[in-house]
Chains A and B, each alone.
Chain A
Amino acid sequence: MIFYAVTALLLIVSFMADRKKTLKALKISWKKFSNIAPMFLVMLVLVSITLYLLPHELIREYLGEEDLMKGMGIAMLLGSIALMPGFIAFPLCGILREQGVPFMVISSFTTTLMMVGLISLPVEKAYFGMRTALIRNALGLLIALLVSIVTGLVFAEVVI
């Protein structure tokens, strides 16, 4: 619960520094939360159904630790295609983690989700031109790969 200790500390410091600003911050927090809550509920409903229908073995087989390369490949493909805001993606990843999906595979998904956008490529092309957009996305893919490898090493999921 270090997380709440830090949050509480910051909140207290902020409150002592400027009462008005802090109240405004809390109002913003509440507004953002209530804007997102319905979408959250929908996600949790869908995930609760999907996880029931998908047997654990299937998740373990495709995203699990038995074949990390396969898991990372699938995760990167999904991450490059999907358009998903972080406030949906990370809770989902938390659930996947509890299902035994390795950190490495999760980081392949989240980093490509952030850095590679196949769906947003037409938009990017309009600003950067196709060539530059493609180079940029390829670099993103490479960075995602390196991030997951280091993540795997740090969490001792792979050993050199």
Chain B
Amino acid sequence: MKAKFPTLLMAVYALFILCSLLFGYQPGKEIGENFISFVLSMLKILPGAFILIGLFEVWISREKVQKHLGEHSSFLSFLWVMLLAGTTVGGLYVAFPVAWTLYEKGARVHVVLAYVGFAAVCRIPMIVFEASFMGIKFTVVRLLVSVPLVLISSLLLGRYLTGKKWEMVSPGSS
């Protein structure tokens, strides 16, 4: 998502806050105080979060993970697909093309579905942000509940679709 920086809007805002401070306009002062307190609380957390994300990108390479996706055991392939999902950048929009690539390379339907599910709930940079802002307890609870459920639901849906001779569609053909 690339949005253009609304320079004019920001300038008007800054001017408004400045004038409010100068002339003692109460609503403007309150908005300004809100803004400052938000910026301060973000600055407390953001540097750490971004350093963690940078370290993760350098130490875990996507290629390394992809090499292991051919594992025959279901358990191992789930594990590797989860790691692959962890390295996915961006949301579902990125996950679908990757899922298609997996499918094309012969990954089974439930593994493909698990990938899409994990890409939604286990992206590492997102988890770092979540834990930083909501606390580690919140994140652990969410992961402990959602990961097994994603696994079970992909297994069930995968079995159902395989029974129906379902096939994933090449996005180019539609």
Q: Is the Cβ of A91 less than 8 Å from the Cβ of B42? A: yes
Q: Which residues of A contact B53 (CB under 8 A)?
A: 28-29, 32
- Asked if A110 and B145 make an inter-chain contact with CB atoms under 8 angstroms apart, the answer reads no
Interfacial chain A residues near B93, Cβ < 8 Å: 120, 123
Who on chain B is nearest to A29 by CB?
B54
Cβ–Cβ < 8 Å partners of B157 in chain A: 132, 135-136, 139
Which parts of A31-65 form the interface with B (CB within 8 Å)? 32-33, 38-42, 44-45, 47-49, 51-52
Count A interface residues, CB 8 Å.
Answer: 66
Docked pose: A48 CA to B31 CA in angstroms: 6
Binary flags per residue of B123-151, CB closer than 8 Å to A gives 1, else 0: 10110011111100110011001100110
How many Å lie between the Cα of A24 and that of B133 in the bound state?
A: 25
- Are A95 and B38 touching (Cβ within 8 A)? yes
14 interchain pairs (CB within 8 A)?
Answer: A3-B131, A29-B55, A30-B50, A48-B31, A48-B34, A91-B42, A103-B134, A110-B130, A123-B92, A124-B96, A126-B96, A127-B169, A135-B157, A154-B141
Apart from A111-B121, A126-B174, A146-B145, what are 17 other A-B pairs with CB-CB below 8 Å? Answer: A4-B48, A7-B51, A14-B59, A27-B54, A32-B50, A42-B6, A83-B91, A90-B129, A91-B42, A93-B133, A94-B133, A114-B91, A120-B92, A127-B171, A143-B146, A147-B142, A147-B146
